[in-house]
Amino acid sequence: MPDFSWLRRFIGSLRTRAFEREMSAEFVAHLEFEVEALVAHGWAAADARIEARRRFGSVAQAKDLCRDSWGIRAVGAVAQDLRHGARVFAKNPGSPILIVLTLAIGIGMTTAIFSAVHAVLLQPLPYMNGEALVEIQQLRAGTTSGNLGLSLPELEDYRRQLSSLDALVEYHQMWFNLIEGTHASRVMTGVVSSAFFDVIGIKPILGRTFVPEDELPGAVPVLVVSHSYWQRALGADPLVVGRAVEMNDTVHHIVGVLPAVPQFPQDTEQNDVYMPVTACPFHARAAEANDRRMRIVSAIGRIRSGRTLSEVQQELSALSGTLATTFPAAYPAGFTANALSVRQQLATRARPTLTTLMIASCCVLLLVCANVGNLMLSRLVPREHELKMRAALGASSSRLVRQLLLEAATLALAGGALGLALAALGRGMLTSYVVRLTPRATEIAIDRTVVFFAAAVTVLTALGFGLLPAWRMTRTGASLEKRPTSRFLLVPQVAISFVLLGISLQMTRHLITVVTSDAGFTSDHVLTAQLDLDWTRYSTDEARREFFQDLLARLDRTPEARRAALSLTFPLNDGGGVWRTGLLAEDETDSDMPQVDLRLASPGYFAAVGMTVLRGRSFTTGDLSDSRVVLVNQSVALHRFGGDPIGRRVSLDAGRSWNTIVGIVNDVKQYGLDSPPVEEVYLPFGRYAPLSATLLVPTAKDPGTVLRQIEDTIRSIDPRQPLSRVRTLDDVRDSTVAPVRMTTTLVTWLAAIALFISAAGVAGAVWVSVNQRFREIGIRLALGESPARVAFRVAGSGLGAVVVGLVVGLPFALAANRFEAAGAGFQSVGPGTMSLSVMAILTVAGVACMAPARRAASISPTAALRVE
């Protein structure tokens, strides 16, 4: 028959109060019976009571044994242990708080890094066919330009002849002006084959993706919008399917909305909308579509089931070799075609950083365990007496071990929960750091796996530092007082903190230098915006020139936007194309034409960005389309002309035409606040009529109102011309600094964490030493040593280990600084910064030693001597 005694025990254990009442009543009744019987035998009442009790034996013990039988003991014991633990904590709250914080930091950091590793490296791609996706890249050895792309005939050849792929789709990115109602905006567009989304395996959340019919000539133009664009610009409208917008002078209908998945391929800007290839103007131009050398698209393929990536690579190499011999003009020397797994692509750049971070945080976690173990043991030493007494009074050693494990488990649970919360809070910062390495960073989340990992780590650390004191307790022979302090652990901790602190200070100094550096221009209150003209409507130079002239004239009449200027780009602009050409001075004998950057500037440009004309004159409205004047910057003046080039003539087209230099302007840092200025030559804006230009407007007022006026002005010229990338120069300048700032912040956080853990370690080690040398300190105090000296001695013992750590860490810190200086261009730290580091560490360690030192000084000699 099945034994349900366990169930009875459990239920019985729940009815504790009733049980206790009944048990007491039963024993009382028993004793009464005994007394009656004794009295009946002739005993006196009082004596009978005593005899009855004596015959029964220990009531308390009997009750305990009964409780054990009943199963109450287990539950009650745990509650009792918890209460006892709470009392212990309350008496000495500092230590458990420190333990929980240290645990939280270690567990939190490891969990956060793991969430990134999980999302980027471990999790499969969020596309259905993610594992089978490959990208075909073509490279040319000897150039650094990266993927050349494929031409349309090549794509067709690969598609037909690579049998190991069951699909090959194309992709490229263009921008277009999208007009909806009266509102025009610029959108990045992914131009894709109709099977693109099916091959990748993305299902739309609204509507549909493309079907083969969309690709047929004469098909109705359709668009699929990305999730972020749908939310940002279409108001997350659930009825957006079917909406009509105008692009490229054609009406397109929105047929679907994509889910929020990372976009692949990686490009500088995320796509807002997608269109089928037939709508792309490139395909329409037969000359380009059939030219094998026009490599303009990327290709994504899906491996046929049952085939492998290496088979694809083999086929691809063979095929491209054949094509190279058939069409030698299109295939230069050193040409290779590679098939790369998409999943690997998205992980390559991130893998080394994430792996390093994971290893580092595991090391940190080990240090945390060791530290916390130390702290737990230090808390145990003063209680050793109490625990030994309880053991003598009958508490089983398993009970004591259970209690210690329970304490450790409670601390670990608190630390783990706090750590998980910290990881969740830091997710945003982590994502923005990792997104520079891979677009999969957006998948970083605190999901079930991560929580499970945090729980596992918590359990492991609890076992790690909980078993240590528990194990010591069961070894009744060895006294805790004789245990050597693990002070040797302190040395590497302090050394690591020293190195990290040094690097952090170095980076911070660099950051400050960069942020406050003089970039050669002022960025206060200057609004910038990009104007990309629609090339179907502004296909002639004349049309474009007219637009821009008109724009400047009208803005001139607007009071707030009077000093507007036009140029191709502006200092620190990212994402602008750069024009370069060789500069030939008139009477230069050597034909070497070093490259200079070409800039266009309308007359108001230099004033708008706060540049100075050092000599000569700026452009005037008179210098328009046919004047042959240029301005050069100081670098050109110094390097090419040794000082004064005004009046000299230069050619930008290898001698075919000549321009006169009429002025010198100062250098600006075009390519980053920590990059040196380059040689630049400025031409009047009207000389070339670009398709894209930048509008700059210095504003005294709130940029919002000025922006509206600018938009109105543009609309009055051409209502279908949008303004895009509206930013202030200040914003641009800030965003250039952002990557450096982020890395500096990360390293500083790491240094702070290492410092905190070291401080906890120092505190723990000194505590243990104080508790071990309790008696010795008491004797010293009794013999007349001043408490201050005792305190200093105690603090000194802790600081001694710190100094050793600093000495050990010094060569590493110096080496790291030199390495950073060489590799990353930071200035190497001088002795000033080093001593700042050392002072910081000594101060923190000193503070950490304060509490135990104070305790040591306040030991009452009599109490110390009494403990025996």
Partner 1 sequence: MPTSKNELLQGTLDLLILRTLASGDMHGWGISQRLQQISNDVLQVNQGSLYPALYRLEQQGWVASAWGDSDNNRRAKFYSLTKAGRKQLAEETASWERMSAAVARVLSHA
Residue 69 touches partner 1, criterion: CB under 8 A: yes
| CB nearer to partner 1: pick between 4 and 452 | 4
Taking contact as CB under 8 A, which single stretch among the options 34-42, 272-280, 487-495, 730-738 is the one that binds partner 1? 34-42
DSSP characters over 554-612: HHHHSGGGTT-EEES--TT-SS---EEEE-EETT--S----EEEEEEE-TTHHHHTT--
Side-chain-side CA neighbours of 90 within 13 Å: the count stands at 6
Residue partners of 82: CB distance under 8 A and separation at least 6: 406, 410
What is the C-alpha to C-alpha distance for residues 352 and 335, in angstroms, rounded to an integer?
28
Taking contact as CB under 8 A, which single stretch among the options 68-76, 203-211, 378-386, 439-447 is the one that binds partner 1? 68-76
User: Residue 361 is encoded by which pair of tokens?
Assistant: 């945080």
Position among 15, 21, 55, 639 found at the interface with partner 1 (CB under 8 A):
55
Taking contact as CB under 8 A, which single stretch among the options 60-68, 304-312, 664-672, 713-721 is the one that binds partner 1? 60-68
What is the C-alpha to C-alpha distance for residues 182 and 555, in angstroms, rounded to an integer?
21
Position among 47, 68, 518, 731 found at the interface with partner 1 (CB under 8 A):
68
What is the C-alpha to C-alpha distance for residues 40 and 155, in angstroms, rounded to an integer?
114
Position among 18, 37, 389, 691 found at the interface with partner 1 (CB under 8 A):
37
Residue 4 touches partner 1, criterion: CB under 8 A: yes
Residue 333 touches partner 1, criterion: CB under 8 A: no
What is the C-alpha to C-alpha distance for residues 257 and 813, in angstroms, rounded to an integer?
53
Task: Specify the amino acid at residue 204.
Answer: P
Residue 71 touches partner 1, criterion: CB under 8 A: yes
User: Residue 629 is encoded by which pair of tokens?
Assistant: 């004047």
Residue 741 touches partner 1, criterion: CB under 8 A: no
CB 829 within 8 A of CB 510: no
Q: What is the torsion angle, in degrees rounded to the nearest 10, for the CA atoms of residue 521, residue 523, residue 529 and residue 533?
A: -10
Position among 17, 40, 57, 784 found at the interface with partner 1 (CB under 8 A):
57
Residue partners of 582: CB distance under 8 A and separation at least 6: 593, 594, 595, 596, 652, 654
Residue 166 touches partner 1, criterion: CB under 8 A: no
Position among 29, 44, 216, 244 found at the interface with partner 1 (CB under 8 A):
29
| CB nearer to partner 1: pick between 62 and 128 | 62
Position among 15, 18, 21, 25 found at the interface with partner 1 (CB under 8 A):
25
**Helix, strand, coil % in the chain, rounded to nearest 5:** 55, 15, 30
Tell me, by CB under 8 A, how many residues bind partner 1.
32
Residue 24 touches partner 1, criterion: CB under 8 A: no
Position among 14, 15, 44, 58 found at the interface with partner 1 (CB under 8 A):
58
Q: How far is the CB of 392 from partner 1 (least distance, A)?
A: 21
CB-based burial, 180-206: b 16+ in 10 Å, e otherwise: eeeebbbbbbbbbbbbbbbbbbbebeb
Residue 27 touches partner 1, criterion: CB under 8 A: yes
What is the C-alpha to C-alpha distance for residues 155 and 151, in angstroms, rounded to an integer?
6
Among residues 389, 81, 22, 83, the alpha carbon closest in space to that of 73 is found at 81
Taking contact as CB under 8 A, which single stretch among the options 6-14, 142-150, 520-528, 669-677 is the one that binds partner 1? 6-14
Task: Specify the amino acid at residue 815.
Answer: A
733: helix, coil or strand? Answer: helix
What is the C-alpha to C-alpha distance for residues 394 and 20, in angstroms, rounded to an integer?
22
Among residues 253, 244, 195, the alpha carbon closest in space to that of 221 is found at 253
Taking contact as CB under 8 A, which single stretch among the options 22-30, 169-177, 401-409, 420-428 is the one that binds partner 1? 22-30
Strand stretches in 292-448, DSSP E = 298-303, 335-341
Taking contact as CB under 8 A, which single stretch among the options 3-11, 384-392, 597-605, 616-624 is the one that binds partner 1? 3-11
CB 40 within 8 A of CB 61: no
Residue 8 touches partner 1, criterion: CB under 8 A: yes
135: helix, coil or strand? Answer: strand
853: helix, coil or strand? Answer: helix
Position among 39, 62, 401, 782 found at the interface with partner 1 (CB under 8 A):
62
Residue 654 touches partner 1, criterion: CB under 8 A: no
Taking contact as CB under 8 A, which single stretch among the options 31-39, 204-212, 346-354, 551-559 is the one that binds partner 1? 31-39
Taking contact as CB under 8 A, which single stretch among the options 57-65, 118-126, 152-160, 268-276 is the one that binds partner 1? 57-65
DSSP characters over 291-330: -TT---BEEEEEEPTT--HHHHHHHHHHHHHHHHHH-GGG
Write the burial class of residue 301 (CB in 10 Å: 0-12 exposed, 13-18 middle, 19+ buried): buried
| CB nearer to partner 1: pick between 5 and 326 | 5
| CB nearer to partner 1: pick between 69 and 858 | 69
| CB nearer to partner 1: pick between 63 and 628 | 63
Taking contact as CB under 8 A, which single stretch among the options 66-74, 154-162, 215-223, 487-495 is the one that binds partner 1? 66-74
Position among 12, 201, 426, 703 found at the interface with partner 1 (CB under 8 A):
12
User: Residue 500 is encoded by which pair of tokens?
Assistant: 């990290």
Position among 15, 21, 36, 675 found at the interface with partner 1 (CB under 8 A):
36
Residue 47 touches partner 1, criterion: CB under 8 A: no
Residue 49 touches partner 1, criterion: CB under 8 A: no
Residue 1 touches partner 1, criterion: CB under 8 A: yes
Q: How far is the CB of 34 from partner 1 (least distance, A)?
A: 6
Position among 66, 340, 607, 808 found at the interface with partner 1 (CB under 8 A):
66
Q: How far is the CB of 849 from partner 1 (least distance, A)?
A: 53
**Site map 88..127 versus partner 1, x via CB under 8 A:** ----------------------------------------
Question: Of all helices (H) and strands (E), which one includes residue 274?
Answer: strand 273-276
Position among 18, 44, 61, 479 found at the interface with partner 1 (CB under 8 A):
61
Position among 15, 21, 26, 356 found at the interface with partner 1 (CB under 8 A):
26
| CB nearer to partner 1: pick between 394 and 577 | 394
Q: How far is the CB of 750 from partner 1 (least distance, A)?
A: 57
Q: Which residues bind partner 1 (CB under 8 A)?
A: 1, 3-5, 8-9, 12, 22-23, 25-27, 29-30, 32-34, 36-37, 55-59, 61-62, 65-66, 68-71
